[in-house]
Chains A and B, each alone.
Chain A
Amino acid sequence: MSAAPAPPVSEPAWSLSRSAIWLWVTEGIVGTLVYGAIVTVAVLLVPASVGGPVPVLRWLLPVLVGVYAVVAIGIRPWVRYRVHRWEVTAETVHTLTGWLTRTWTLVPVARIQTVDVTRGVLQQLYGLASVAVLTASSQGTVRVPHLEVAVAERVAEDLARRAEQVRDEAT
C-alpha cells in the first residue's frame, strides 16, 4: 500500500480491545482448519486421472489454503486492529471498520432507536462483546465489534439514556 491519502471524513479516535486481535486470529485458525479439511477430502477423493482442470487444482487448492492461512492468521487481524476505530461524542456515535474496504458509519445520538449488546461464542472466550446501535433506517446501523464486556455495557447504557433524553421524533 502506498501512503494512505487523507480519509474522507474525520477518524474516530478510540481503538477496540486488544483481545480482538486474538479473537480474529482464532477465527482465522478456524477458517483455515475448515478449508483445509474440505481441500484434504477433495484431494483424497478426486483422483488426478479425472482430467480437465483437476491436476492443476490438486496443487492449486492447497496453496490457496496456505495463502489464506498466512493472510487470515498472520496479517488480517493486525491490519484490522489498526483500522478499526470507534468514538462516542456528545452528538454522535462514530465507527470505522474493515481492512481492505473501509466503512465509516456515523449516527447522531438523537436518532438512535435501540442499542443491543451481543456476545458470540468466541467473544465470550475472550471476554468481549459487540454493541449495535439501530436507527429507523435498515442501512443506518452502527456496529462496534469486540469491546471489553464492561465497556460495551457502559456504552450501551449511556447511549440508551442519552438517546431517550434527546430523542428526535422526526425519524
Chain B
Amino acid sequence: MTGPGPWPAPTTPVAAPPAPPPPARRTSPLVVLLHTVTFKQARQVVPAAIPVVAAVGIDGPGVVVALVVAVTALSLLFAGLTWWRTTYADTPAAVVVTRGLLARSVRTVPNDRIRGVEVEAPALHRLFGLVRVRIDAAAGVGTDGDEEVVVDGVPRAEGDRLRVSVLTHRRSARPVPPGADPEAPFEEPPEEELARFDPRWLLYAPLVASYLAVPLAAVGALSRLLQELPRDLRPDLDGPELTGGVVAVAVVAGLALLAVGAVLGAAVVNWGFRLVRRGGSLVAVRGLLTRRHTELEVDRVRGGTLAEGLGMRLVRAARVNALVTGLGAANRRGQLFPLGPRPEAVRLLGVLVDDPGPLRPHPPAARRRAVFRAVLSGLVVTAGGAWLSAGTGFWGLLAAGIALTVLGVPLGLGRYAALGHAAGPRSFSVRSGLLVREQAVLQRRAVVGWTVRQTFFQRRAGLATVTACVGAGAGGYAAVDMAAAEVAAFTVAASGPWAAAAGDGAPPAAG
C-alpha cells in the first residue's frame, strides 16, 4: 500500500540553545474577563446545559436570574482555569505553547517553520488593551494545509515584542548572509507602501457577489431567529395590502438595502486596508472592527491571480490574490488587494510577478467549441420540444429550447473571450472564466508539472487544455482550448527545457 519509504523524513535543523530557555509567560489576566464576557470556553458546555434547563423549565424571573448568574460563574471559572493552565514561551529555536485543563498539550513550532506572524486586535480586545497573536507555520509532511498557534490576550506592547522576537529568531534560524550578525535584534526594515485603501472603492461592493451575500446572510439569520422565537414573543405584524405600488417600493427598498449592506460588509472587512513591503515580507492590514494584520513572505510567492466578476467588469474593478506555496486557494490570507480599480490591481500584480506580456487569443476552433458547448443543452431541449410539439401540440418546451439556444451564443462567446495565454521570459499567464474571469500570472519556478488533456472532440479540432500544476492556490491553472500545435512551445517557454521531455532510455526490465 505505502511506498518503499523512499527517504528519511526531513529533519528540522534546530540550533543548540545557547542560553537557558526564557521563562514561560502567561497571557494577561484581563483575558479572563474578556473570555467570561464572550463565553469563549463556556460555549462548549451549552449542549450539555440545554437538557438541564429544559428539565428545570424557565418560569419566573428568579430562575432566569439564577441561570444568568450560574452561566456567568461557570464562564468565569472556565476562563480562569484556561488562563491559569496556558503558558507560552518564545525560545531561540521554537515557540512553545502549553495548554489544557487536564490533558496537557504542548505545541512546539520550530522557528524555521514559521511563515508569518499576525497581530490582531478585535473590538473587545481593544477595549481591554489586548491583542491576539497568530503564528502561522508551514505544516509538516503528511498533514494538510497550515498549522496555526494562537496566543490570545496579551497586552499590545507584549504582542509587538513577541512578534519582533519571533521574527528575529526566525531570521537567525536561516542561513545568514556573510557579514551579518545573526544575533542582532530584528530591526523593522524600511517600509514601501504598495497599496492604500480609498473609501470610494467601497462603491464597487454592490457589484461583487461575495459582498452581496453578506446582507443576504444577515436577512437569512434574522428570519431563522424570528422563526425560533417563542410565539408570544414574536412581533405580530399584519401583512400589508399587496398592491403594485407597494411591491415596487418594497423591491426598490430591498435593492437599496442590499447595496447598503454590501457596502457596509465590505467596509467592515476592508476599512483602512494598507499593503506594504517590509524587508522580505508583504504586510497587509485591514478591518474596521477587527484589525487583521497579515504577513506573507515574498520568497514564497509564486504568482498571483487577477479576478474580475461579471459586475466588476462593468465598472473595471478587480481583486488580486497572491499564490503562496502551502496556502490553499480558499485561504483569505492570500488576498492582497480586496477590491479596487483594475489599473491599480494590475500594477500590484506586477509587483508580485513580472508581466509576461499581452495575452494571445486562442484559435477560432476554440470559439466554435465554446459556442457549441454553450448551445448544446439548448439544442437538446429544442429537439425534445420539437418531438413533443409534433406529438401533442405543446409548444412551450420548444420555445424554451430555442430561447436557451439563442442565449447560449453570447454565453459561449463570452467564455471564449476570456481565454488567453502568454509566456514571458520569467513568468507566464493563463486566463479563463465566464462569471468570474480569473487571470493567473505565475513565475516559471512555480511549475511542478504539466497536464495536457485532449478529449475526443478536442483532438478532432486540434485543441488541447494545458494545466500548469502549481504547489500554491488551486493547485493548477489551465489554458483551456489552446492550439494543440502550440502546446509544446508554450510549456517549454513557461517552465523550462525539461517540459519537452525528450527521452531515449530503454524501459526498465523486470528483475
Contacts and interface: CB of A to CB of B under 8 A. Distances in A.
Contacts of A140: 448-449, 451, 469-471, 475-476
Interface residues of B, number: 49
Interface stretch (A33-41, A54-62, A65-73, A98-106): A98-106
A101 B454 contact: yes
Nearest to A132: B3
B501 A106 contact: yes
Contacts of A105: 449-452
A5 B451 contact: no
A101 B509 CA distance: 29
A111 interface: yes
Contacts of B7: 160-161, 163-164
B485 A8 contact: yes
A101 B456 contact: yes
A142 interface: yes
A85 to B, nearest CB: 10
B4 A94 contact: no
B487 A164 contact: no
* Chain A contact residues: helix, strand, loop or mixed: mixed
A115 B2 CA distance: 9
Contacts of B63: none
Interface in B1-51: 1-4, 6-7
Give the residue among B141, B469, B499 with the most A Cβ atoms within 10 A.
B469
A10 to B, nearest CB: 6
Interface string A128-160: 000000011111101000001011011111111
Contacts of B505: 87-90
A114 interface: yes
A136 B471 contact: yes
B500 A108 contact: no
Nearest to B467: A139
Interface string B467-484: 101110011100000001
Interface of B: 1-4, 6-7, 141, 325, 445, 448-456, 459-460, 462, 464, 466-467, 469-471, 474-476, 484-485, 487-488, 491, 496, 498-505, 507-511
28 contacts: A4-B459, A8-B454, A10-B501, A87-B501, A89-B501, A90-B505, A94-B501, A100-B456, A101-B455, A105-B449, A105-B451, A105-B452, A106-B452, A108-B449, A114-B6, A115-B4, A135-B448, A137-B476, A139-B451, A139-B469, A140-B451, A140-B469, A140-B476, A156-B6, A160-B3, A161-B7, A171-B325, A171-B471
